[in-house]
Structure 1
Amino acid sequence: MFKTIIEPRVSETDGVGHINNTTIPIWFEAGRNQLFKLFTPDNTFENWKMIILNMNVDFVHQIYFGQNVEVYTWIKKIGNSSLELYEEIHQNGRICAKGTAVYVNFNKDKQKSESISEQLKNILLNHIYEGV
């Protein structure tokens, strides 16, 4: 599992007084930074590998400004060239949002997906989601 702490900003708070729903996918993406680094160690877009194919979000509880949130990112499934993530955002010890995302390992020069190396798959296995 990868864990990222985020401090909500005033600008992310909407008129109803909670963090706006459009912010949650951005926070989920921030939780993937350590994963992105595994696929693109130099963090350059010239060598970028991770292309998102699908993302789903369930909003469970409201999130508020003034209290940090934790973003948890797990690997749910590893395919030949793709992987599915399971993600949660927690505030004050409870799940406030959860979701999934599917990424493909992409070679932008060849404009096609490519297999995830066995070495990288072994690293990803350390982050497998073992929940229900």
Structure 2
Amino acid sequence: MIVNNDGTKPIYMQIAEWVETEILNGNFVSEDKVYSQYQLAEMFNINPATAAKGLSLLVEDHILYKKRGLGMFVTNDALELIRHKRKNQTLKRLIKEIVLESGRLGVSENELISMIKEVAGEETTE
């Protein structure tokens, strides 16, 4: 991941999303220790306080928990919490944008569904 400094999304949020994606991809599983704020800062060339803020977001969302003196660890419910959050926030936002754009372009609901199925079919063959 390359941190995007264009100002559209705060860096600490990008760090939190990156850790979430690592969990979704199976690179961190329940009870695994995740990178420290200092490791993340070095990996992404950012301030450790920024990395800590990203990790704190994940603690607030019950995706990570702190073990005093040992670091941050993945909660047992992390995978489900991330899936639920991204389904109800990210996917709904993207779908809304697609539906609005298809309306502006005069794309029918059936045509849009066909396009989605076509793209989904392409993804399974790659």
Provide TM-score, normalisation by structure 2.
0.24
Q: Which has the higher strand share?
A: 1
Provide TM-score, normalisation by structure 1.
0.23
RCO comparison, higher one (Cα < 8 Å, 6+): 1
Q: Which has the higher helix share?
A: 2
